[in-house]
Structure 1
Amino acid sequence: MNSDLKIISLLLSYPDEELQQSGNLIRATLDQLSDLDASEIVGLKSLVSAISDRDIYEVQEDYVLLFDRTRSLSLHLFEHVYGENRDRGQAMVDLKDMYDEAGFEIDVHEMPDYLPMFLEFLSTRSDEEARHLLGETLHIISAIRQRLQKRGSVYAAAFVALESLSGERADEALTAEIVNRKEDDPNDLEALDRIWEEEAITFGGNQGENDCGPDRLQRRIRAQHRDASTQI
């Protein structure tokens, strides 16, 4: 399970040339170590190919359009729970405290609820603990999966795999609550700018202050991926 979580963490990170060049290694690891069933492995391999076999700039553009400019597909988990609520800041602190207690260090500029980071953390825990924590986010993961499938995105395979690894079914009411929210238009840049201006979050000694806009987010994703990809 740990290798699956690490692989999905990488595949959901901002794609770069290093990730593209890791395609064969990721496929081999899935063949040798995965706890997923055959169809789920095929889905992840399709995602690997979609990242590895295309022009890197096209891959990056697709990623940004999906996850950075589409709020309803945000890879920041608490976006789907708290939105603009001030409780989001305390939730960030609590999650970071959990990382600290486990000896899991994160980049001070990265938000603790960034899904690839959360999955990287889970890959360091026991299967039992990883499934429990993954289960707590399952309604968010399921909602994002449904939205990606609606768009015909190959990235949905990563979320299908996460649902399988949890060993549980997402709460249908909580999932529906997220899915039924109005989706934003990723091409409405003025609206996107307003969202980022309104949602600057301060937590843990101002670590998040003025550091959650799309451009800054992309830089943080690249840095996180460089650290994580050396451990696969």
Structure 2
Amino acid sequence: MNARAWQIQSLLIGYPDDSLCGKAGLLAEAAGTLPEPVGGPLLRFLGHLATTPQSRLAEDYVATFDHRKRCCLFLTYYAHGDTRNRGMALLELKQRYAADGLILTGEELPDHLSVVLEYAAIAPPAGRELLAEHRAGLELLRLALHDAPSPWAAVLDSIAATLPPLAGDQRTAVARLAAAGPPAEKVGLAPFGGRSR
């Protein structure tokens, strides 16, 4: 059940191109077979997809995910920001995927949520673990999409319904991320903010 849900979510969180819009009916049929907490939000989003011109969907997608840092679809950004550690995390993800038979084409970074969900769909136990590792970032993204408000919030609601509820440490991590944002690079900066001589 979760593997089917993650495959649908992977497609719906991707860019709304002709291919996605052409699959809307098939995706709605598949979403209708899922339990309400998972399938219901997907059906709501698919209703929006079916009634909104594709050009408007594309504009909304870019405005939401390309211009709002809190609506970032690249999961390692929440844990590492734009630091060197993020590069290592991306490499580790590629190696993890390759070990389970998912070879990326190079068109998308391995931490893009649609890629992570695709991986979860083909390697459910490992994929669920990976999603759980990024639970704080996913929750921050979900909350930011609700605040926007964005129709893609429904897709994140569906993803959250496939994962265990937030535990105490995860709630703290979400609160910390919301308050401070992702880490910033500190390498090479002069100590204590002083000038180097």
TM-score class, shorter: 0.7 to 0.9
C-alpha separation in 2, matches of 1:157 and 1:55: 19
Q: How many pairs are equivalent? A: 179
Kept after mapping to 2: 8 A contact 1:27/1:45:
yes
| Percentage of matched positions with identical amino acids | 25
Kept after mapping to 2: 8 A contact 1:147/1:179:
no
Choose from 146, 149, 153 the match for 1:149. Answer: 146
The secondary structure found in structure 2 opposite 1:81 is helix
Kept after mapping to 1: 8 A contact 2:116/2:127:
no
C-alpha separation in 1, matches of 2:180 and 2:44: 29
Q: Which runs of 5+ in 1 are unaligned?
A: 183-232
What does residue range 161-176 of structure 1 map to in structure 2 within 5 Å?
A: 161-169=158-166, 171-176=170-175
Stretch deviating more after TM superposition (45-54 or 96-105)? 45-54
Kept after mapping to 2: 8 A contact 1:40/1:157:
no
Q: Which runs of 5+ in 2 are unaligned?
A: 182-197
The secondary structure found in structure 1 opposite 2:162 is helix
Q: Which residue of 2 aligns with 1:124?
A: 122
Task: Provide the alpha-carbon RMSD of the alignment.
Answer: 1.7
Using the size of structure 1 for normalisation, the TM-score is 0.72
Shift of 1:40: 3.9
Q: Which residue of 2 aligns with 1:197?
A: none
Kept after mapping to 1: 8 A contact 2:64/2:150:
no
1:140 aligns with 2:141: no
Shift of 1:51: 1.9
Shift of 1:39: 4.5
C-alpha separation in 2, matches of 1:25 and 1:103: 26
Letter in 1 for 2:92: D
1:178 aligns with 2:169: no
For the pair shown, the structure with the greater C-alpha radius of gyration is 2
Letter in 1 for 2:32: D
Shift of 1:96: 0.5
1:20 aligns with 2:17: no
Shift of 1:109: 3.6
Kept after mapping to 2: 8 A contact 1:78/1:88:
yes
